[in-house]
Amino acid sequence: MYQFYTLSNGLRIGAEVMPQVKSVTAGFFIRAGGMTETAEQNGISHFVEHMLFKGTERRSACQLVQAIDRTGGTLNAFTSDEYTCVYVKTLDRQIETAVDVLCDMLFHSRLAAEDIALEKKVIGEEISLYEDSPEELVGDLLSSRTWGDCPAGRPILGTLESVNRLNREELAGYLERFYHPENMVFAIAGSFTLSHVISLLEKRMKEKFPPWLPSFPPCPMVFHSGISYQEKEAEQTQLALGLEGVSRMDPELYPLLAVNTVFGGSMSSRLFQKIREEKGLAYSIGSYPICHEASGLLVISAGVSPENTRQTVELMLQEIELLRQEGLSREEIESSKEQLAGGYLLGLESTSSRMSHLGKGMLLEGGVKTQEEILSLIDGITPEAAERVIQRVFTPDAFSLAVAGAVDEWIKAQGESWSE
């Protein structure tokens, strides 16, 4: 059962007690990510996330991680398009240390000039490593091709130029603007008592915060078709084909999840069976939805030899058209619903997944769906709903395509080079 509480400073707390475990996962979810950045500050959310680990008024960078390492736990963070998460997983008896370290990082970061200069080098290496990996690069290519110059089309890491332009004043201003209790959620799952967690947070967050006024840059998401490619020295070609999907609040989200399960979401899917098992064109092939607040994307990805590029893309489009013409059988829909429910229930065994479900639901969706509500949404998927989402999303005449690695001449003949 979920429990909720709001501190006097506006911090929302979401909790789920799991008495059968001896661990706890706790984290702060902050509404700060790629979509809250201006073009000039591209990469600042990710940079701030890094700086949280560089030391506070009480602890050095090494002491921060040592405090959690000594408990046998893990301290980590990540940045996405729409939010940043900083979290700890540890034994339940170490909850005080977990809360203390998290609050220290988020609200007392030093942002020392020497650390900022050093971290620019570290993130520069991360960007270079990312750009050298066609598997990673193709995702950014697809986002840029699909969403253009809106924040969703920019890389989370930023560019070397945008990162190197950042200074301490900008980082401090970004922290003050977005790392405010009213713009974040504290989610926790595992073995604990909520009253104890509330007491710990009130003790660690005594400082006064200025009034917070929501101020997010506009992010119009307009789908753009077309092909972009970037050549990299590699043996394989990485493909990512995008179809305009649905937002995370769209009533057709769950029907899309069911359709995707049959289409490309598993090893038994149509794409996997046709392109890998029957044709032998790819080792990895599949599809998955990406859902934002305003829109979404259905991505079909594959890794192939350059000479198999054209045939693979054509087969992808053929499978899209076949799905559009024939739809799904009742047996396929029922099987996909069972697969969705099973995957969801298996994920509930992890304190980390439950913590993440709580945090994202509260921060991005205005509420958290219960287990019963989610299973009901899955069970309620009808053949009619599946057909509607097929006709809406699976449109072979309107798609974006990104290609990275070894690029076939066929792609070059009709695509747009990323370097242009």
Query: Using CA atoms, how far apart are residues 100 and 200, in angstroms rounded to an integer?
Result: 8
Catalytic residue among 49, 131, 244, 332: 49
Burial class (CB in 10 A: 0-12, 13-18, 19+), 156: buried
Q: Is 293 a catalytic residue?
A: no
- The answer to whether the CB of 287 falls within 8 A of the CB of 299 is yes
DSSP string, 281-343: -EEEEEEEEEE-SS-EEEEEEEEE-GGGHHHHHHHHHHHHHHHHHH---HHHHHHHHHHHHHH
SS3 content of the chain, % helix, strand, coil (to 5): 50, 20, 30
**Strand pairing category for 416-417 and 184-190:** unpaired
- The pair of structure tokens assigned to 31 is 């509404």
Query: Using CA atoms, how far apart are residues 279 and 273, in angstroms rounded to an integer?
Result: 8
**Strand pairing category for 184-190 and 74-79:** unpaired
Query: Using CA atoms, how far apart are residues 5 and 15, in angstroms rounded to an integer?
Result: 9
Strands (E), 31-127: 74-79, 84-91
Residue 198 half-sphere exposure, CB side, CA atoms within 13 Å?
15
Catalytic residue IDs = 49
